[in-house]
Amino acid sequence: MFQLVIRSIMLAAALWTSLTHLSCLKAGDARDTPLVRAVQLSRKSVVNIHTERMSAEDKDSKFFSSKSRKVTGMGTGIVIDERGYIVTNYHVIQDVDVITVTLDGGSSYEGCPVSYDRKHDLAIIRITATEQLTVMNMGTSSDLMLAETVYAVGNAFGYEHTVTAGIVSQLNRDVEVDETQSYENLIQTDASINPGNSGGPLINLNGEVIGINVAIRSGAQRIGFAIPIDDARRTIARLMSVERLNGIPHGLATKDIKSAEEKTLVVEQVTAESAADLCGIKTGDVIRSIRGITVLDGTDLERSLLDLPRGKVVDVVVARDGREQTLQLTVGVGKPTRTPVAAISQQSDVNVADNHRRTAETPEVSGTVISDAEQGVMNRAWELLGLRLENLNEVERIEIVGKAYPGARKPVRYNGGLRVVSVRSGSVASRFVNEGDILLGLDGFETLGPTNISYILRDARISNPAPMKCQILRKGGSPIEGTLMLKNL
């Protein structure tokens, strides 16, 4: 009898445990809402941005002191390419000296500005991460509905990855912030947008970005604004132009087609004898993918070709006459562009980041046509120094100028350099310079291009040879200085 009672108690306990567990599962299912799933889907693609800049008074001073004042800022960014390209608002990184990017897992990296569009308040920055980043799923703003549920993720007041939810309050809002900045066609939302949310995503219940948070109504409650993602992606495509950043045109003019039913990129024009023309791409083709990257719009086109070396062959899948076919595009083949990259930047609101603007002494990016005179200067560097030099592309230059290196009195920044392609054995440079180094300076002058080299190696200088200071940047390290003895020429 006693054993029977014990057995009954054990059975009852087991039944109670099972019922409790079942109840918890049901409760868990109820909590696992579309909003929760959307947040989990998107959070790895949101980054937190912290910035620092010296106060205006300190920047005007000749020397920074230990009492120099730092002004801190914050914002948010969205991963748009797994290699570390991130979009944010331009006002988040405007005039800052240091950009720190923190990922969802907590790891932090130094951010480097790539390009920006002041008018549309968007900018691209890049980090060199030890891990491949997760690209945010891109939605469309073409089919947004009033009162549709949305949520924002951002670095609100420095509280990283803050999630707020709300609805689409209104569409097509025009907002004037001040005399210098206004926005058109914004999404209005009552999801809480706070300082630090700028540059972060406004996301739908499918976990897709439908806007980039940009502004709030001061003094109001829950009135925030976001740039529609379709508008933003057209600007981002220009910001990531491979012709502007790498100096390598593809020859395609395209059009984004976005609706609730489709997101496609249609070829509107192909430049004769360009890489795209030689590849076999035709007007009317729909580009499906490039080197395995799904292409939904112009941003995907540009990022799929960005930073690829000349001569690289990639698969391009296009839809034509209802059938898909695979073509092979060779990067950098065909006639080079006849429009200087500097001029291209002036044809739109897009610019490379501050301190990266070209001057008369700044060379065109690698791949553009150089004059016979400039080639003669480069040959002179080989003859006198034993260095075969070539221009950096825009991405390489930006990686250099975006960093501050330790200096004797204050951080030191460089405006670019020249890549050392080869070093002649037994030359004066062979004692100090290696192939693959970046030549930052020579004889107290920057070495940004042929004009600088021509001045440094002028006849008057060579006729009175003397030790020449040389600054180089070795991959993975900091700038180092050595001496070239011109008297040994």
Q: Which residues are designated catalytic?
A: 91, 121, 198
CA angle 274–369–365, rounded 5-degree value:
95
- Give the span between the Cα atoms of 21 and 316, in whole angstroms: 52
Q: How far, in Å, are 27, 253, 359, 437, 464 from residue 454 at the CA level?
A: 75, 38, 16, 20, 16
DSSP 8-state secondary structure symbol assigned to residue 351: E
SS3 of 471-482: EEECCCCCCEEE
- Give the span between the Cα atoms of 453 and 448, in whole angstroms: 8
DSSP 8-state secondary structure symbol assigned to residue 431: G
H or E segment and range at residue 9? helix 2-31
In one-letter notation, the amino acid at residue 242 is V
Q: Which residue has the tokens 């489709």?
A: 262
Residue from 155, 287, 299 nearest 241 by CA: 299
Put residue 486 in one of left, alpha, beta given phi > 0 → left and psi -120 to 50 → alpha. alpha
Give the orientation angle of helix 298-305 with respect to helix 229-239, to 10 degrees.
30
What burial letters (b/e) apply to 203-228, b meaning 16+ CB within 10 Å?
Answer: bbeebbbbbbbbbbeeeeeebbbbbb
Q: Exposed, middle or buried: residue 137 (CB in 10 Å: 0-12, 13-18, 19+)?
A: middle
Give every CB contact of residue 425 below 8 A, 6+ residues apart in sequence: none
Tokens representing 335 are 């006639």
